[in-house]
Amino acid sequence: MNKKESYEITGDHHHSTSIKTPLRANAFEKSDDEKINNIQHYFKMIMEEMGLDLTDDSLSGTPYRVAKMYVKELFYGLNPNNKPKISTFENKYRYKKMLIEQNINIDSACEHHFLPIVGFANVAYVPKNKVIGLSKINRLVDYYARRPQVQERLVLQILDDLQEILETKDVIVSVTAKHLCVSSRGIKDQSSFTTTLEYGGCFAESATRNEFLNIINNQKLQ
């Protein structure tokens, strides 16, 4: 098997190698502006290689727009400086039942083809001494989604971080998403979607896990 064939197999099988996003040691030595300038330069070269005329008014600003979008929007979650500040509060209510945040928007990108992954996440935990603001869960999910990603890694990163923040293993995360690298290339399957599920603590018990699954499958806001 040659290297190009290996590249294709890795992409088609959606392989990942680590729970951590692969980053160079010097990944953030350059400023965002420097990165935007460099990406703009190289994306212009890609467009020119494809035969596009960048003197056209519609295309002339595309390299800059793409570069800015990569650094500031689609992949802002690569930079740990952009991680949301997550505050926790004492569980004064002594609430000990499941708390679920449902249908959290997922806008990510496949790290093998840089094509969109679009879907939603459901996150639940059973509080012990700490609780977290509901919007903070959404922000944390978005932070980990906004990077070149593999769906299995995404649920693990969200789970591990919430378990550490909340100081409990009683956390469960599910993500259901469509992958454009499946629907727009390769097999070109327009109807399939992927669901991943990770959990710890009390959610290892099938009764607790099934309670979560029943709620997210049956309770939808109109």
Task: List the catalytic residues.
Answer: 110-113, 151, 179, 181
The strand ranges marked E within 55-155 are 88-90, 99-110, 116-125, 130-132, 148-149
**Contact between 105 and 68 (Cβ < 8 Å):** no
CB–CB of 132/86 below 8 Å? yes
Virtual CA dihedral for 20, 118, 122, 222, nearest 10 degrees?
170
DSSP string, 15-63: ----SSPP--TTTTSS-HHHHHHHHHHHHHHHHHHTT--TTSHHHHTHH
Report whether 162 contacts 180 (CB < 8 A). no
Q: Are 167 and 128 in contact (CB under 8 A)?
A: yes
The helix or strand, by DSSP H or E, that contains position 81, with its residue range, turns out to be none
**Secondary structure of residue 193 in the 3-state scheme:** coil
